[in-house]
Amino acid sequence: MDILTQYKNIEQEIKNCPTNIPVNLIVVTKGRPLSDIEKIINAGHFNFGENRVQESIDKWSDFLKLNPSIKLHFIGKLQTNKVTDVVRYFSFMHSLDNDKLALKLSNEEKSQKKNLSYFIQVNLGEENQKSGILKQDLPRFINYCKKDLKLNIVGLMCLPPINQNSEKYFKELKQLAGDNNLKELSMGMSNDYISAIKSGSTFVRIGSGIFSEKSN
């Protein structure tokens, strides 16, 4: 199947999921050329995810000037020396995970007079190799970001441990969001987005499910 067909199939699957809340599809375009991405843009899609800052600038900077409806979502680990570019080019960040980064983003927002929407990444599995705020530190971190830094925290994000039951972690993140008065949930990728939506996800991040080659 071609890219556009796979995109439309996933879009339809999302619409068919039993949920009472709108679900936003983020098409993850890291490593993909604009020639592939434009097929999806021409179909009326505007939310795209990237995790490499320089690649994003090279690919999107000129295109964004001509297409203000496009919203870029940063979905990777962000180093503080890349904050200026992320604030300039992106509308959402899904991986806010520490005080130092939050402070740097707040200062850069003031400098550029621009506000992003943020998801806090939560390390539900307490995995050493993964970024994210631990559950017990989440209320403090939310308060710091919202009250002290005036960041627009809209929700939570998680990456469930590999080879474990994702649904368990999706439900846990939904509970944490509710406990902290946050409405949005960024969870679910190509292999588990249906389960994520059923568990309350409002943003799903799908790349390989759209761009990988599949036989008809």
**Percent of the chain's residues with pLDDT above 70:** 98
pTM: 0.95
pLDDT of 14 reads 95
**Separation CA 126–CA 145 (nearest Å):** 21
pLDDT of 137 reads 96
pLDDT of 40 reads 95
pLDDT of 128 reads 80
- CB-based burial, 99-113: b 16+ in 10 Å, e otherwise: eebbbbbbebbeeee
**Separation CA 140–CA 150 (nearest Å):** 14
pLDDT of 216 reads 44
What pLDDT digit, counting tens, does each position of 108-135 carry? 999 999 999 999 999 988 778 788 999 9
pLDDT of 127 reads 77
pLDDT of 214 reads 59
pLDDT of 105 reads 98
The set of residues, in sequence order, having a beta carbon less than 8 Å from that of 83 and lying 6+ positions away, is: 101, 104, 105, 108
Opening angle at CA 54, ends 111 and 87, nearest 5: 20
pLDDT of 96 reads 97
**Domains of the chain listed by start with CATH number:** 3-211 (3.20.20.10)
Question: Tens-digit pLDDT profile for the chain (216 aa)?
Answer: 799 999 999 999 999 988 889 999 999 999 999 889 999 999 999 999 999 999 999 999 998 998 899 999 999 999 999 999 999 999 999 999 999 999 999 999 999 999 999 999 999 887 787 889 999 999 999 999 999 999 999 999 999 988 788 999 999 999 999 999 999 999 999 999 999 999 999 999 999 999 986 544
